[in-house]
Amino acid sequence: MAWLVWFLFSFFLTVLLVGKKGWLQLWPVGLAALAVVYVLDSTLIRLGAFAYSFGLPALGGLPLLYFLSTLINAAAVARFYPVRRWLRLPYIIVLSAVYLLVEWVMILTGNFRHINWSLWRSLGLNVVGFTLFLWLGEWLGVIKPGE
């Protein structure tokens, strides 16, 4: 149920913040985010770092609605990617902290659990994940800060 709530929240927030025109421009960055999340999370699941409730073996142990929310959230994150380079790291750190809060809620609700992991490691992983997919979005020409 919590993954459904997260997915619906993500969907409506992205519709509100990005709109149809923004979605049509930014959806490819969601594919980059899916790739980053799949590689990072499924690897750490296999290594026994953490586990998701309702994870699907076909998705490397990731819950479907969590995985799909990545596609949606990436567009909203990319939409507000700062033009000024010096603001990008603070933006990524703040987003990482927000996602850490979501992770904490999922731990409290029993939808996610740390095995050989910690919230500090998650914060670092979030920073790496956001940096990777935003860099990929720029490299692919999907994210064009300032346009």
CA distance readout (Å), 113 to 28, 37, 68: 30, 17, 20
Q: What is the pLDDT of residue 145?
A: 76
The residue whose two tokens read 């969907």 is 11
pLDDT tens readout for residues 3-53: 999 999 999 999 999 999 999 999 999 999 999 999 999 999 999 999 999
What backbone torsions phi and psi does residue 112 show, to the nearest 5 degrees? -150, 145
Q: Which two three-digit tokens encode residue 19?
A: 């709109």
pLDDT tens readout for residues 88-121: 999 999 999 999 999 999 999 999 999 999 999 9
Q: Which two three-digit tokens encode residue 46?
A: 């296999």
